[in-house]
Structure 1
């Protein structure tokens, strides 16, 4: 699948990051060709979590009402054991969402952070740049933030290679920190899983607090 225009920018992949990049570029008056191996984009029947910083970027692109109409606001953050028992819970979001009916198991797959994302007029974003454990529910959100920064840099004065290097300088340290934070969270949760139940709630609260601090620091949230 590709768009029917003669833009100078080619985006390989119509995933969350690729489509957000195309929209962000369009909003700045920059056209792009989007290439996708699939003949059509279909719903996969799964849900993802989008963090507030990424929601803000999508809202700025005019998608706020569509997200509100189709998304499910987060109601609560829960940690459950393998029997489905709640070990720790924390309210989230501004209004109730839909309670989960099952406890899914997600494979933990990531990749060591790359020393660079490209050269010349080529760069990466999203999972291609920083595949991370899904445990932090941050992969899609980081792809959206990549797209927003990439569009901003490409719209700035100067040549394309310099814009791509600025984009990488802005995003690679942040995503590297989050990749490592996701790993640390996974290691900590595995250690907690074999501990005594009465000690788990406080330990999980500490893990969540530490992870949130890393993410907020990288997003410039005070």
Structure 2
């Protein structure tokens, strides 16, 4: 069996490694000319670290990533109203890591080259079209800039792992249209600075009207400084931004002014934004869950299948879970069509629930709850811990990382 993967992002590369582990031939095609460590920070939850651990990658990741110890919520005045341990601190068998998205992608890319061989990974290869018949799938890849055909290849399966603007999805659903904009714009950056709280904490501040997420993605240097990843979420209403472009620079001074009052004794948000090398912006967007991913020998994975708001640390994590189940299904089923339907029947409903839950603000709805209940701040004895716990526990179940269920797996 040979699987063609369109897209060498985190999901596509993890799928290639998982399929290779099952003895399945894989060929990966990536649109860009050179894979570089782009992007900023992401958080990877224990359920996806289990998959990467089974691929033998946990120790390599741990050498440069930060093992997240706890998740802490604050209101816009810097008052803490929720804290919970994360990863191994919470009793999971696997850690939770905060890390640089680009470094994880490069690690996966290097492992693919090492294990699959250089000839299995192709760059400057944008999917132009595909067709399938009883003998397999034929895919054509072009140089996106010139339109020149670069590769025509045939396999038994085609997996679209080519992101929110997936060409595979567009050919399966030609009338779907662009991603759906949420009226929220995300502003991302990294700043070298002294760590806050215990040095391995992930902080959520404010409400969905104006929010800040911050966590370290590097070990301290000789001066004790860490690379702090931060994401500002501001409800901007209508926006001229149409596409999620990780590399579009924003007006940094405008953002500094937005956060000028956010200076707390444990974190100076204004200065953190001010000292970033650059600030990037893109509209927070997703797509409606699909009723069907699989068409014969073709299916979808990751953001191509289920782009979601970056809430609850689940974007890359869900793509990695897709990759594992896809490989398991293809290695066990009696036919390709049966295998892909088995994969879809497991992952499509699960990820659809996460997409819709993230639209409802996911676990971060507790931020809006506290803002609504206590707009001027609160006294410690006023915090409704039981109501907040109900929201947090429910999200763990929806996203597939409740501790008891996950720890029962290998």
The two structures have a TM-score, normalised by structure 1, of 0.85
Give yes or no for contact 1:108–1:135 (8 Å, CA) kept in 2: no
Shift of 1:155: 1.2
Query: What do the CA deviations read for 1:32-81 (whole angstroms, capped 9, x no partner)?
Result: 11111112221125111111111111111111211111221002102233
Work out the CA distance in 1 between the residues paired with 2:42 and 2:384: 25
| Structure 2 gap segments, 5+ residues each | 90-197, 202-214, 216-227, 234-282
Work out the CA distance in 2 between the residues paired with 1:194 and 1:102: 28
> Which moves more between the two structures, 189-198 or 20-29?
189-198
Larger Rg: 2
Partner of 2:83, secondary structure, is strand
Shift of 1:187: 5.2
Q: Residue in 2 aligned with 1:155? A: 331
2:372 to 167, 172, 194: 194
Q: Residue in 1 aligned with 2:287? A: 111
1:55 to 40, 49, 59: 49
Query: What do the CA deviations read for 1:88-138 (whole angstroms, capped 9, x no partner)?
Result: 222223466535357521454222211011201100011111111211111
Give yes or no for contact 1:133–1:183 (8 Å, CA) kept in 2: yes
Asked if 1:208 is matched to 2:202, the reply is no
Work out the CA distance in 2 between the residues paired with 1:191 and 1:84: 16
1:31-50 pair list within 5 angstroms: 31-50=25-44
Shift of 1:204: 3.6
1:21-100 pair list within 5 angstroms: 21-94=15-88, 98-99=200-201, 100=215
Give yes or no for contact 1:77–1:89 (8 Å, CA) kept in 2: yes
> Which moves more between the two structures, 100-109 or 150-159?
100-109
Work out the CA distance in 1 between the residues paired with 2:232 and 2:82: 18
Work out the CA distance in 1 between the residues paired with 2:41 and 2:401: 26
Give yes or no for contact 1:84–1:103 (8 Å, CA) kept in 2: no
TM-align CA RMSD: 2.6
Work out the CA distance in 1 between the residues paired with 2:307 and 2:402: 17
Work out the CA distance in 1 between the residues paired with 2:299 and 2:402: 21
The count of residues paired between Structure 1 and Structure 2 equals 216
Give yes or no for contact 2:350–2:398 (8 Å, CA) kept in 1: no
Higher strand share: 2
Give yes or no for contact 1:135–1:182 (8 Å, CA) kept in 2: yes
Higher helix share: 1
Shift of 1:181: 2.2
Asked if 1:123 is matched to 2:299, the reply is yes
1:182 to 358, 377, 389: 358
Work out the CA distance in 2 between the residues paired with 1:164 and 1:97: 43
